[in-house]
A and B are shown apart, each in its own frame.
Chain A
Amino acid sequence: MYRVMLIDDEQSARSLLKASINWERYDMEVAGEAASGIEAINIIDEIVPDIAFVDISMPFMNGIEFTEVATKRYPGLKIIIMTAFDEFEYARQCIRLPVFDYMLKPFVRAEVEENLKKLKDILDRTVKDTEPAVEIEPSSIGQIKRYIEDNYTDSKLNLTSVAQIFGFSASYLSRKFKQDTGKNFVEYLTECRMKRAMELAASNMKMFSASTEVGIPDPNYFGRCFKKYTGQSYSDYASSVSK
């Protein structure tokens, strides 16, 4: 099963694409969705997609910026840019990136399926790289934790970027990190950000400012993360703390 990730700020667009295509026919499944480039960066290491459908026009981090980051970190990832016609020329001019294809919105099933067929053929022929067996010292995990604590305000920071900086494979680092700390990488990163966010909430900072401050400039995603972490919405938390 090849893993597909849908990145589009329109919920209905993601739902429609997910529902209207018979993914299984191409040995694929929709493994995850993201409503912005920021969210995609944050969760992509958990989803580990083979294919990403990326909408061009998204708030906070648009499809082009995301593609720039993603093609560097995930060389094997097949990206399909989804664009309305009036952005098509713009998209083509801006991206000199090795994306797999451009598709016009609103999509037509026949076109999508044609692309999926081609993708499956290519993926079937690709042999997955065996991970390099680099031992990670326990001290390295400590360094990594410190690195996260120092750099969590960078909105593009994620497992893969850190793994690349320290010279490990992402999946190995993920496993080792969980093993050593009892938490997985994303949880730890989010925890760092949320702790800071709680402080900011206590100081009555507005949510959209706080979200940028802690490295999640998409306030919608930030809000969800905050609620998931604290069990309370940002505004509720802020008002409860200040009382």
Chain B
Amino acid sequence: MGTGKRTKEDKKRFLSGTSLAVKVWYIIGGVFLLFTIMFSISALVLRERSIRDYEIRESETILNSMSGSITANIENYKDISRLVMLNKQVTAFLRAPAEEVGAGLKNDTIYGINDIFMVSDYVDSVFIFRSDNHYVTTGKGLYHIDYDLMEDETWHAHIKEREGGAAISLNGNGAVYRANGNQLLTIGRDIYDIYLQKPVGLLLVNISTGMLKSATESQKGSKVCIVSEDGTLLAGDKSVSEYFTSDMAIRYTMVHKSVRGNKNVRMISSIRVPDTPIIVMCASNASAQSIPVETTAVMLLLFVTFVVSISFAAVFISRNITHPIYTLSAEMEKTKEAGWLKKIDAEMPRNELSMLKESYNSIIDYLNDLFTRLIDKEKSVQKAEMRVLHEQIKPHFLYNSLETISFMALDAGAKDVHSALETLGSFYRNFLSKGNREIPLSREISIIKDYLALQKLRYGDIINDEYDISEDTLDIKIPKLILQPLVENSIYHGIRLTGEPGTIKITSYLEDDDIHIIVRDTGVGMSQDTIDELLGRSETPVEDQNASFGLKGTIERIKYYCDYKDVVRIRSEIGEFTEIELIIPTKLKEEERGNV
């Protein structure tokens, strides 16, 4: 049960899993095979049929010719036999009283008969019987005459019903035989007295089978024979007579019979010669000499046409359907590789496939449009949020308040308060400011200086700051606020945790068109795990998420700005120092730059 089910499923999977191209080739192959078989069969059948038609035509010709010649011969003999009745000697013989019939009269009669039949070939013998059974014969040799049979009315009936006409039979309808066994064709007729108009005698003209033989011999090259009603061979090929069947004798129409299992004989045809008990038979074997060339040629032409058209169909399908589908698929694959929604450029045939391409492209257009709109929406939402944030901070209010308080401090003589407020104001005007996303390094440094000055106010002497800024880096533009978060990190996750004073040193220099900025602190340091996490190299998040959030965000921002190049390096020794180095290319092309 299991296996049967599996094979069924296998078949299903094979059919559904096979590509269209392979399926097309399978179908074309199948159709090709089917049509080849069909063509072969119909070619064979047609050939068979045309050979048979040919054979029948041939046989009809032969049989009609033989039958015709035999009938003509017999008619000839019939005509001659009529002369017998007018012969003086014969008349005398028949009219003579029984007592006068003697050897003399008989001899005269035989002469008379011989005179009549002298010109005719194949006349074996002529018998004339008087009503009293006296007879004369021209026959030479021994004959058996069955008088008893001749007395029988049923024997005489076949002649009597002709009423003076001739009746054809074999061996005097069984009454006359040659002792040597040669078959005889007998023309029998009653002899009427001209004056009395009643039968006075019986004439039997026996014709030897030589007449039939000559008829068979006239058909040279054909296998023919002549048989009697019971199938006895009278003349011709004995092997043909063996195919005789009794139904051939029943009617006078032609009979054709196919023969199987014999190489030389394919068909037997026969016809009964009219008004005679003889049947003409003919065997045909046309296969050897009569292949129907035209039919075969037409068949072959059809077949070739078919093969050509099916091949054309295969090529057409391959070129116009399968191949373009492969191209289409390959083009669609490109979208995946490109990472964005790419339209299909490939040329498609102007049919359903180009429609498919157009539909696909319009979907891509729609999707791209959708994505653009989504991104724009997202951007505008972000912008709006930023604006709200700015509105909430209200820089003008802050600045004006700072100025007012500063003047109050100054007026009251609190110079250090004024200085602190000035630093705070300076820090915020840089920190909150809109405008360029990129600022010169010098301004970022001044943000840090302000920031550290304010932090020192809070934490006193625990922070020392040192700067080693190369002159040629001061005007290089960097993304705004990338150093401040690093410094902040140095204070809160570095120096503050040691409980001792520490130093933050900022170094910058140019090397190979890259600006190197190093923020180094003598804090508690970082574990390698933390470093990996910060650089996005490890999957497992570090325990203190908040600790690294600002730093990680900043690192990602720098990476994004520099188009995800390896721009951040972190070196650290636990308990000693942490050093974060940023390497930013100064020759970034505008389009390479991410939207920081």
Q: Which residues of A contact B (CB under 8 A)?
A: 10, 12-13, 15-16, 19-20, 57, 84-86, 88-89, 104-106, 108-109
Bound: A20/B405 CA distance, A:
13
Is B403 located at the chain interface by the 8 A CB criterion? Answer: yes
Which B residues touch A86, using CB under 8 A? 390, 395, 433-435
Q: Which residues of B contact A (CB under 8 A)?
A: 390, 395-396, 399-400, 402-404, 406-407, 410-411, 418, 422, 425-426, 428-430, 432-435
Q: What residue of chain A has the Cβ atom nearest to residue B422's Cβ?
A: A108
Bound: A104/B450 CA distance, A:
15
Closest Cβ of chain B to A105, distance in Å, is: 6
Closest Cβ of chain A to B450, distance in Å, is: 9
Whether B407 lies near A15 (C-beta < 8 A) is: yes
What are the nearest 4 A-B pairs in CB distance?
Answer: A85-B433, A106-B425, A12-B404, A16-B407
For A10, A16, A104, the residue with the greatest tally of chain B CB atoms inside 10 Å of its CB is A16
Bound: A10/B426 CA distance, A:
18
Closest Cβ of chain A to B396, distance in Å, is: 6
Which A residues touch B403, using CB under 8 A? 10, 12-13, 16, 106
Q: List 13 A-B contacts (CB under 8 A).
A: A12-B407, A16-B406, A84-B429, A85-B435, A86-B390, A86-B434, A88-B435, A105-B399, A105-B429, A106-B399, A106-B422, A106-B426, A106-B429
Which A residues touch B429, using CB under 8 A? 84-85, 104-106
Which B residues touch A10, using CB under 8 A? 400, 403-404
Contacting residue for A84 out of B395, B404, B406, B410, CB 8 A: B395
Closest Cβ of chain B to A146, distance in Å, is: 44
Bound: A89/B406 CA distance, A:
27
Whether A16 lies near B395 (C-beta < 8 A) is: no
- Beyond A84-B396, A86-B395, is A20–B434 a contact (Cβ under 8 Å)? no
Bound: A13/B400 CA distance, A:
7
Whether A20 lies near B399 (C-beta < 8 A) is: no
Contacting residue for B432 out of A13, A85, A89, CB 8 A: A85
- Beyond A104-B429, A106-B425, A109-B422, is A20–B396 a contact (Cβ under 8 Å)? no
Whether B402 lies near A106 (C-beta < 8 A) is: yes
**12 extra A-B contacts, CB within 8 A, seeds A85-B429, A106-B428:** A10-B400, A12-B407, A15-B407, A19-B407, A85-B395, A85-B434, A89-B435, A104-B429, A106-B403, A106-B422, A108-B426, A109-B422
Q: What residue of chain B has the Cβ atom nearest to residue A15's Cβ?
A: B407
For A12, A88, A104, A109, the residue with the greatest tally of chain B CB atoms inside 10 Å of its CB is A12
Contacting residue for A19 out of B399, B411, B428, B432, CB 8 A: B411
Closest Cβ of chain A to B255, distance in Å, is: 120
Which A residues touch B425, using CB under 8 A? 106, 108
Closest Cβ of chain B to A168, distance in Å, is: 40
Which A residues touch B432, using CB under 8 A? 85
Bound: A13/B404 CA distance, A:
7
Closest Cβ of chain A to B338, distance in Å, is: 37
Which A residues touch B434, using CB under 8 A? 85-86
